Amino acid sequence: MNQLLSIDPATEVDRIVKLLQETIHKKMHRYGAVVGVSGGIDSSVVLALCVRTFGPDHVLAIIMPEKESNPETREIASTLAKHYGVASIFEDITPVLAAFGCYRQRDEAIKSLFPEYDPEAGYKCKIVLPPDLLNSDVLNFFTLTIAGPDDQEKSVRLPLPEYLKIVAATNMKQRTRMAYLYYYAEYNNYAVAGTANKNEHDLGFFVKYGDGGVDIQPIAHLYKTQVYQLAEYLNVPEVIRNRPSTTDTYSAGSTQEEFFYRLPFILLDTLWYAQENSMPINEVARLTDLTEIQVKRAWDDILRKKRTTDYLRMEPVSI
């Protein structure tokens, strides 16, 4: 499976660097780039690419945790910035989110389903999708899970009104970060470099005018597994390359697989690559050690995600 997704990292890095130079310097007339750094693999690779392109003196790493972020976020992101010799700026966005009503609005929706839910008493929350994509035809219905101070979990399938309210409130986190990124970009005459990979961009795992609100997307054409290949070549610290990919959005914590993708990245990327390149389904089943029915379920889920998130990738419509 790895051979299908294998790229030449050196050639790809050189290509991206030239495009960044051409686009940001010559077309946008900007001096460098700002990158929102979370301590994850994608933002780390984009930071490294920007340093290759503009030099460390023309790149800013903006670290923007909030009270529900992983406590490791600030430390790992700061270490990454030092690793590449880049200046970093820390912004705790908790007060802004509280003023916007992010936590209050979300918690109102949760309490309508679990009245006992109380973050001040140690309760945490997350929303996830069904994990058994390959073995059932269950659609993408989200489940809300809360964990009490005793770590005991309760779950319920999310009704649409509560789901919409939780997501709308939570998306304030990404949109607040976008506002900070553009402040520092405009203040320094820099461009905002996005950190979405192909999985996030094409399948809709981003917030419109949040983490999707950027000037350029250096890695949006790369499958997640290919981003890891660039990470190794660009000497991204091993502690980051070995971290699980998480949403770092909900207080209970969840991996990107359980929150959205429903499959491990190596399998998802292989199946998606095969679909995009019109490989015969029987050959794909043999290659992945799945049944043809399982392959089709995965392919259907990929197409469904792309179709239902098309609006996220639309430019504003002029009428």
Where are the chain's structural domains?
A: 2-97+170-313, 98-169
Distance CA 176, CA 218 (A): 22
16's tokens: 């991206």
What one-letter code names the amino acid at 66? E
The predicted structure's pLDDT at residue 137: 72
- Examine the pLDDT at 68 and tell me if it is beyond 80: yes
Percent of the chain with pLDDT strictly greater than 90: 81
* pLDDT tens, position by position, 70-96: 888 889 999 999 999 999 999 999 999
Cβ proximity of 180 and 104 under 8 Å: no
Segment (H or E) for 17 = helix 9-20
3-state SS class at 192: strand
DSSP H helices in 119-251: 160-170, 172-188, 198-203, 224-233, 238-241
CA nearest neighbour of 184 among 206, 215, 205: 215
Residue 259 binned pLDDT confidence (cut-offs 50, 70, 90): low
pTM for the model: 0.94
112's tokens: 């309508």
- The residue with tokens 């890891």 is 228
317's tokens: 């419509």
CATH 3.40.50.620 fits 2-97+170-313, yes or no: yes
What one-letter code names the amino acid at 299? W
The predicted structure's pLDDT at residue 85: 98
CA nearest neighbour of 60 among 79, 44, 81, 77: 81
State how far the alpha carbon of 317 is from the alpha carbons of 212, 213, 277, 311, 313, in Å: 17, 16, 31, 11, 12
- The residue with tokens 């010799």 is 85
Distance CA 195, CA 182 (A): 14
Phi and psi at residue 159, to the nearest 5°: -65, 155
Q: Half-sphere exposure of 298 toward its Cβ, with a 13 Å CA cutoff?
A: 27
Average pLDDT over residues 236-262: 78
Burial class (CB in 10 A: 0-12, 13-18, 19+), 143: middle
- Non-local (6+) Cβ contacts of 111 within 8 A are 117
Q: Which residues pair with 168 in a beta bridge?
A: none
Distance CA 136, CA 252 (A): 26
State how far the alpha carbon of 34 is from the alpha carbons of 60, 140, 261, in Å: 5, 34, 28
CA nearest neighbour of 125 among 212, 20, 254: 254
* pLDDT tens, position by position, 139-150: 678 889 999 999
According to DSSP, residue 319 is labeled: -
State how far the alpha carbon of 279 is from the alpha carbons of 1, 27, 90, 129, 135, in Å: 13, 38, 46, 28, 22
Phi and psi at residue 127, to the nearest 5°: -120, 140
* pLDDT tens, position by position, 157-211: 999 999 999 999 999 999 999 999 999 999 999 999 999 999 999 999 899 999 9
Residue 138 binned pLDDT confidence (cut-offs 50, 70, 90): low
Distance CA 190, CA 184 (A): 8
Segment (H or E) for 128 = strand 124-128
